[in-house]
Amino acid sequence: MGLVPALVRSTFLVNAVYAESGREHGLTPQQGQLLCVLMAQPYGMGELGATLGLAKSSLTGLVDRTERNGLVRREPDPQDTRAVRVTLTPEGSKLAEEFYAETCRRVGKLPAGLSAAELDTLARLLGRIVLDNKVPVVFLEEGSLADHER
Contacts of 17 (CB under 8 A, 6+ apart): 103, 106, 107, 110
**Confidence band (pLDDT; 50, 70, 90) for 140?**
confident
pLDDT in the model for residue 148: 43
Q: Which of 137, 144, 130 is nearest to 47 (CA)?
A: 137
Identify the weakest region by mean pLDDT among 53-62, 106-115, 133-142: 133-142
Rounded Cα distance, 101 and 108, in Å: 10
Mean pLDDT computed over every residue of the chain: 90
**SS3 helix, strand, coil % of the chain, rounded to 5?**
65, 10, 25
Whether 46 shows a pLDDT value over 80: the answer reads: yes
Contacts of 138 (CB under 8 A, 6+ apart): 33, 36, 37, 51, 52
Domains of the chain in sequence order? 3-142 (1.10.10.10)
Query: What's the whole-model pTM score?
Result: 0.83
Rounded Cα distance, 64 and 67, in Å: 5
Whether 90 shows a pLDDT value over 80: the answer reads: yes
